Structure 1
Amino acid sequence: MRVFVTGATGFIGSAVVRELLDAGHQVTGLARSDASAAALTAAGAEVHRGDLTDPDTLAAGAAAADGVAHLAFIHDFSGTFDFAAACAADLRAIEAVGAALAGSDKPFVISSGTALLKPGSVATEEDTAPPESFGAVRARNEEAAVALADRGVRSAAVRFSPTVHGRGDKGFVSMLIDIAREKGFAAHVGDGANRWPAVHRSDAARLVRLALESAPAGTRLHAVGEEGVPFRDIAAVIGRHLDLPVRSVSPEEAASHFGWLAHVAPLDVPASNVLTRKWVGWEPTGPELLEDLEEGHYFSA
């Protein structure tokens, strides 16, 4: 099939592009810059120039495709990041693509996250975000995408683990390493027993392909290779590789140590992949998070 991919040059998106091409699909990637366009061309994909904030551009890309993987999200990991505005832009993108695909039975896969779900217990694919939670604003986008199944779209949401890890990762784990270097110690909140699901980049990319190929309409899938890695174990590996001490910080101290990441560091959000494996035949095979960290590439200068 010809797949239109947003976020096609990002950490996950570029792996999805390669996964799709290797499986024999054709790929058209959204590019807003010359550098992104060149990267897509070099990878063997076609280029659709446009911007995530332009619904007409997204609708045109979707209409010309046999399926869509919407992996882009406006991330700005700074103190001025407006999460609500980013979610609003994402919802407009979902609505534009959904309108273009309505009645076609074509697949439409969007990205979401397991961290949006209720903490403290193992979340399944059938769980939804608590309406009063911080993540509920993005969870509404997931609901909008899944609801497109009632409009003749084979829609599915892939909920990525808080850490999608692998070479080139600039996400949460890399940020934790940078913070440890800056502060002079690796930290966890309290006893650090809180758990983060994790998935290797290659496994996440394969799940997106399988979702496009065969996910039942209206489903939520979990890109979860490990149900939950204790945060203190992540901190311990970081401390050992940087030759720094590992310390506990209190919830009150978390903001001064982690900055805005203090909202994420103490999350206890384990998640299951049982239904995902059943529905699309996905089996994670990549290295686990601590194994990946032990390889040392995260700590290269």
Structure 2
Amino acid sequence: MRVFVTGATGFIGSAVVPELIGAGHEVVGLARSDDGAAALKEAGAEVFRGDLDEPEGLARAADGADGVIHLAFVHDFADFEAAGATDLRVVEAMGAALAGSDRPLVVTSGTAIAPAGRLAVETDAPAPGTHRTPSEEAAVALAGQGVRGSVVRLAPSVHGRGDHGFVPHLIRIAREKGVAGYVGDGANRWPGVHRRDAARLFRLVLEQAPAGTRWHAAADEGVPFRDLAEVIGRHLQVPVVSVPPEWAGEHFGFLGRFAGVDNPTSSVVTRERLGWRPEEPGLLTDLDEGHYFV
């Protein structure tokens, strides 16, 4: 299969590209920069130059492929609404290019988009009003347009060497504050997935997933946030402390809105139907290996 991958040079995309190539697929990766283009060529992929602000170009690339994995996203924590609107335009443009072809379009979302307060499952519709909701709904609706649209919901912590997401920010905050914090009693749970396990799931969804389906990239169903803070505190040799919920924004900055989220997530259906078997270290084991603290 000839696969167009947006976000191909990112933390997850740089694992997805070799996963696809290793399974015999040809990859065309989106690159915004010369360095990104060089990295893709070195990985054995073709290069398509462009960015998310050019949905017409991405639509042309999608039209020339047998399938699409859409990983790229504008991670603008200051303007979630604008980031979500950009993503929706890209999903709609690529979906229109694939209409009537029964080709797969795999769109990325997050497990935290599911309703809060209970174990999230794959059949859960997204909570209304989140920045990922319109794109997820658009991807699933493509089934009515002859596109094998599906969604992979990533755990909030996609971890591994080279991670520059939430966990490195928590470590930086702990260094700056001199304490490793958690919100309230720290019992709220974050699912996790290693980036290589996530890459394998994207390939399986591309190859197998029926139209209009959602899948969960959650190897750890839910790691208590306090446990995460305790590993950070031990490695940095700083106290582990509770942060009152009303102070979370001040302590964690932009992460304040996420640090207290309880997002236990099941991937039972994903494992049973696609044969996905996470093989890499779990979040706490990966963190305890020490490479995050070098």
1:91 aligns with 2:75: no
| Alpha-carbon distance between aligned partners in 1 of 2:81 and 2:289, rounded to the nearest angstrom | 37
Q: Which amino acid aligns with 1:102?
A: A
| Alpha-carbon distance between aligned partners in 2 of 1:64 and 1:197, rounded to the nearest angstrom | 36
Q: Which amino acid aligns with 1:253?
A: W
Match of 2:57 in 1: 57
Match of 1:209 in 2: 203
Q: Note the alpha carbon deviations across 1:153-200, whole angstroms, 9 max, x for none.
A: 111100000000000000000100000001110000000000000011
Q: Note the alpha carbon deviations across 1:247-295, whole angstroms, 9 max, x for none.
A: 0010111111101100000000101001111221111111000000110
Q: Which amino acid aligns with 1:216?
A: P
Q: After the TM superposition, which residues 265-284 of structure 1 pair with which residues of structure 2 at under 5 Å, given as runs?
A: 265-284=259-278
1:195 aligns with 2:192: no
Match of 2:45 in 1: 45
Match of 1:4 in 2: 4
Q: Note the alpha carbon deviations across 1:54-99, whole angstroms, 9 max, x for none.
A: 011101110110000000000135xxx2110000000000001000
Q: Note the alpha carbon deviations across 1:102-145, whole angstroms, 9 max, x for none.
A: 000001101000011122210100112232x5x2x321210101
Match of 1:30 in 2: 30
Match of 1:18 in 2: 18
| Alpha-carbon distance between aligned partners in 1 of 2:127 and 2:19, rounded to the nearest angstrom | 33
Q: Which amino acid aligns with 1:171?
A: G
| Alpha-carbon distance between aligned partners in 2 of 1:121 and 1:254, rounded to the nearest angstrom | 22
Q: After the TM superposition, which residues 257-272 of structure 1 pair with which residues of structure 2 at under 5 Å, given as runs?
A: 257-272=251-266
| Alpha-carbon distance between aligned partners in 1 of 2:119 and 2:102, rounded to the nearest angstrom | 32
Over aligned residues, Cα RMSD in angstroms?
0.8
| Alpha-carbon distance between aligned partners in 1 of 2:32 and 2:60, rounded to the nearest angstrom | 15
Identity value in percent: 66
Return the match for 1:236 from 230, 240, 247: 230
Residue aligned with 1:85, SS: helix
Gaps of 5+ in 1: none
Aligned length: 294
Q: Which amino acid aligns with 1:43?
A: A
Residue aligned with 2:161, SS: coil
Match of 2:155 in 1: 161
| Alpha-carbon distance between aligned partners in 2 of 1:259 and 1:10, rounded to the nearest angstrom | 24
Match of 1:148 in 2: 142
Q: Deviating runs (4+, > 4 A) in structure 1?
A: none
Residue aligned with 1:11, SS: coil
Contact 2:55 2:93 in 1 (8 A): yes
Match of 2:109 in 1: 112
Match of 2:239 in 1: 245
Please report how far the alpha carbon of residue 205 of structure 1 lies from its aligned counterpart in structure 2 after TM superposition: 0.2
TM-score scaled by length of structure 1? 0.96
| Alpha-carbon distance between aligned partners in 2 of 1:44 and 1:101, rounded to the nearest angstrom | 25
Match of 2:71 in 1: 71
Contact 1:216 1:279 in 2 (8 A): no
Match of 2:120 in 1: 123
Q: Which amino acid aligns with 2:221?
A: E
Residue aligned with 2:101, SS: coil
